[in-house]
Structure formats: C-alpha cells, structure tokens
Amino acid sequence: MDEDNHRIEESEIDEIIEIDDDAEMKYASDDEDQQSTSNADVPAEIIDDSLMSLQAHAQDCFTVALASNRWLATGGEDDVAFLFDQNQSESEPVLKVEHKDSVTQVMFNHSETLLATGDLSGKIMISEMATKKVRAEIDECNDLEWMCWHQTADILFAGDKDGILWMWLIGNKGIAQSKVYAGNGSSCTTGCLMPDGKRIMCGYSDGIVRLWLLREETSTHLYFHSPITAIDHHVTQTVAIIGTQSGTVNVVNTASPDNVLKKISLLPPPGVKSTTITAAGTAAMEEGRQEEEEDEDVGNCVESLAMAPSHPWFAVGRNDGTMCIYEMDSNSPRSIFQSNQMMAIVKVIWSMEGNAPYVTAGSIDGTIRIFDARDSSLVKELHNGGDEVLDVLVIQSNPHRFMTAGSGGIVRVFDLN
C-alpha cells in the first residue's frame, strides 16, 4: 500500500486548534507561594520529602514496577535489574538479572507470575516469580525502544530501532511462538495495545502510526509530520491520543481498523521557547549511545501522555516542563502548568480517590507534582532529594502513595498526606 496516498493533508484534517493567548483557562506556575524562597548567593537546600528510600542501584535507576504491593522490580544504568520481595526485606533483592546495557524496561505480566526486563541493546530476560529463575532469554531486538505485556495472555510485545514490532508467546519452557511485524525501517518508538487485545497501535520515527491486526498481520496507517513519541488509548472508548516530537497531540478514532480518522490536532501552548537539545527524559537513558540531533527542534516534544479512565480528559507532559490537561471536546486546554525550571515532564499518571481525579507528574527537575484535575489546582509538590525523577508510579493499593526512580539510583516512596 502506497503510504504517500495515506498522508493526511490540510484538507483532510477536521480541525487544527491554535491556542489563543487571550483564551480563558486556568494557569499555574512555580511562583513564590508554591515553593520555598531561595537566595541566589546561597546554595539551594536539598529537600527529600520521601517517606522511605532504597538505594537500589549504584548508578541511575531508570524504571520501577510494583506487583501485589509486594514485589518491586527496578532497572538501572549499572546494567542490572533487581527484584525485591518486600515481605522478606525492603533492602536486599531476591533476584539479580544481569544485562548487557542499561536496563530501561521492567514490567510484570497480567497474572504477576513473570517479570520481563529489557536493556537498551535489545536483550530481554523473562524471569519466573515463583522460582526466581530465568525462563527465557531474548536477544533478537536491535536497540530496544519499548515493550509491553498482553492484558490476558503471556504475550510480550516490543519495538526496536530497526522498525520491527516483535511478539513472543511465553510458554512454560521458554518462547513457544514468535512473530515479526515489519515497518519500513524507521524506529518503532512507542506502542499501545488496544483494549480488545487483538490490535496494537505503534508509532514510528518517520511520523507514521500503524494500527496492526495481530492475527492477520496487516495494518492501516496514518502519517503525521513529526516523529511519534507517545500513544495512549482509553480503557473503554474507541479513542487514542498520539503525541509527537513537535509537541502536537492528535486524537484518533480507533473504532474501525479500516477507517482510522484523525479528529483534531492540538498544538503546544503559546509562548514556550523551543530548544535544540535532545528530550531530557530520553537523553538521561541514552546518553553516550546516540549523537545528538542538534538541528532537530524538540523543545515542545511530548514526553508522556495519559487518558483519564472516568472523565473525558487527558494529561500531556512535554519536554519544556509544561503539563496540560485537555478536554476531549474542547478547543483549548483546561489548564496549563509550567515549572520555572522548564525541565522535562517524564511521566504523567491518573489516579482516583473516590470520584476525585488526580494527575501526578514526575519531572527531571526532581519534583513530583499532584494536581486536582477538577479545578486544576496544584495540590502538592514533593521533592526527590535532589535527584532527577526518571520514572514514577502510583501505588494502587493506596492512591495517596507514589514511588519514584531517581538519577542517584534511589527508589523513593512518597505519601500525599
């Protein structure tokens, strides 16, 4: 199928929304009443608001995962992944998984019986929780970009630098089956499994988004004018959001695999200066592995996005330090927050306390900010002991608690109360 025939031209876009400087919206920033004052001549005090901490890695800790409020998995720059059983010890790992490069992906399967760990080189290890032994070693990817588990089966997906989408069925004795879904050579930068478990949407560095039918091994695609950096899909509705390196957010209807229509294209907030440095969240993990694309404008790059499970809203974190909450049917953001440091928002997560929706945003500037999405107010700003926040998760058993992976190799737990 000729991809040029499927490029979205201006006449095909339903609406491109430009944010009006005078538009009414709520705006928050790091002004004096939201953070402690400091004297430029005096070194800033290092604040650690964490409830507890764990020195998990000798170098930066890039990623964390939690299962059953018991198992903690971490991955770091020191080329290892650790598994901690918090019922036994909060500081001594029960499993150490050796890798060839920095471990940037750790995640448990749907039944929390397997742990997948992946490094930048593309090596993936599947470990059993019960025996603490490696069940499968996968060394087929060329530079791992992302990976995710199927929601109901022991199937692992991954995308690599060569533009290949991989699928492995994990059996009792190792890899039972594998499939390859080839793109056109551009890096497969991100992927999101659809709620039906039969399709997966992948983004590529050439600006193409493909919606793959897994069984048929065919796809439909859209073309955007910038590399794809993030994708999320609503848990029940047939709608996905797609973020790009240029900062746009695109809302896509996924009801029919043969008729994927771009609905709107939301531009970045106005008045934000673009820079020419690599996105901070990515640079932290890939420093020394790739040459910086100095001519690439990525100041507005979408680093993370997430759809609210029970409200028609979604949150977007960008490389310039802005966190926006959008409403699906609105022409402008409900709110815009930008930190004074203007450092990347690496992760945005929704959590619920009763019927109250909250957005948690982790930033390279070393803070975790919690917003009440109903009125867009900044509820709390928590400091990560001077370390950059490289990953953050909400502890599902207690929506008031958060866990971070930090640049100093430390995993911290925070309590909103």
Q: Percentage of residues in the chain with pLDDT exceeding 90?
A: 66
pLDDT of residue 30: 47
Which SS3 state, helix, strand or coil, does residue 18 take?
Answer: coil
User: Residue 329 above 80 pLDDT?
Assistant: no
pTM over 0.85: no
> How far is residue 370's CA from residue 198's CA, in Å, rounded to a whole number?
34
Quote the pLDDT of residue 332: 77
How are the residues of the chain apportioned to helix, strand and coil, as percentages rounded to the nearest 5? 5, 50, 45
Residue 49 has pLDDT above 90, yes or no: yes
Given this model, what pLDDT does residue 90 score? 85
The pLDDT of residue 263 is 53
Average pLDDT in the 217-235 region?
A: 94
Given a cut of 50, whether residue 280 has pLDDT beyond it is no
**Which fold, 296-416?**
Methylamine Dehydrogenase; Chain H (2.130.10)
* Distance between CA atoms of residues 298 and 301, nearest Å: 5
Percentage of the residues of the chain whose pLDDT score is greater than 70:
79
Length in residues, the chain: 417
- Could you tell me which residue, 206 or 8, shows the higher pLDDT? 206
**Contact by Cβ (8 Å): 98, 79:** yes
SS3 state at 71? strand
pLDDT higher than 70, residue 150: yes
Q: Which amino acid is at 252?
A: V
Predicted pLDDT at 271:
55
pLDDT band at 9 (very low <50, low <70, confident <90, very high): low
State pLDDT tens for residues 166-221.
Answer: 999 999 999 999 999 998 999 999 999 999 999 999 999 999 999 999 999 999 99
Which of 110-119, 242-251, 272-281, 395-404 tops mean pLDDT? 110-119
Q: Which segments within 139-280 are labelled E, that is strand?
A: 144-149, 155-160, 164-171, 174-182, 188-193, 199-204, 208-213, 218-223, 228-233, 239-244, 249-253, 261-266
The mean per-residue pLDDT over the stretch 308-326 comes to: 93
Three-state SS at 282: helix
- DSSP secondary structure, 154-166, as one string: SEEEEEETTSEEE
What tokens does 417 get? Answer: 């109360």
pLDDT, residue 21, reads: 43
Whether pLDDT at 121 is above 70: yes
User: Rounded mean pLDDT of the chain?
Assistant: 85
